[in-house]
Amino acid sequence: MMSSEELATVMGYSAKWYQDTGDVLVELSLLNGKRKSLGRMDAGQAAVLLAMLGRNGKKLVTYKDDQYMQVSEYYKFR
């Protein structure tokens, strides 16, 4: 059973795709101000995870030529 310390509300995420390996690094932004890295994974696994996280939040995309592309999305709380 999970403790309450292991539970957190996700308020956004960042996903960085590495061109050289095709791996994706996913990191969650938590409501308590902390960040939780889910580590590097293959693109297929990351696609499933990002489909679950996508919510039409505010997106920020950064790109570094021949290295990576990073997408971040942050949700509005009402």
What is the per-residue pLDDT for 39?
A: 94
DSSP conformation letters of the chain = ---GGG---EEEEEEEEETTT--EEEEEEETTS-EEEEEEE-HHHHHHHHHHH--S-EEEEEEETTTEEEEEEE----
The tens-digit pLDDT sequence of the chain (78 residues) is 545 556 667 888 899 999 999 999 999 888 888 898 999 999 999 998 888 887 777 877 777 888 888 888 887 765
What is the per-residue pLDDT for 40?
A: 96
What is the per-residue pLDDT for 7?
A: 63
What is the per-residue pLDDT for 32?
A: 83
**Bridge-partner residues for 6, per DSSP?**
none
Q: Would you list the domain boundaries of the chain? A: 10-74
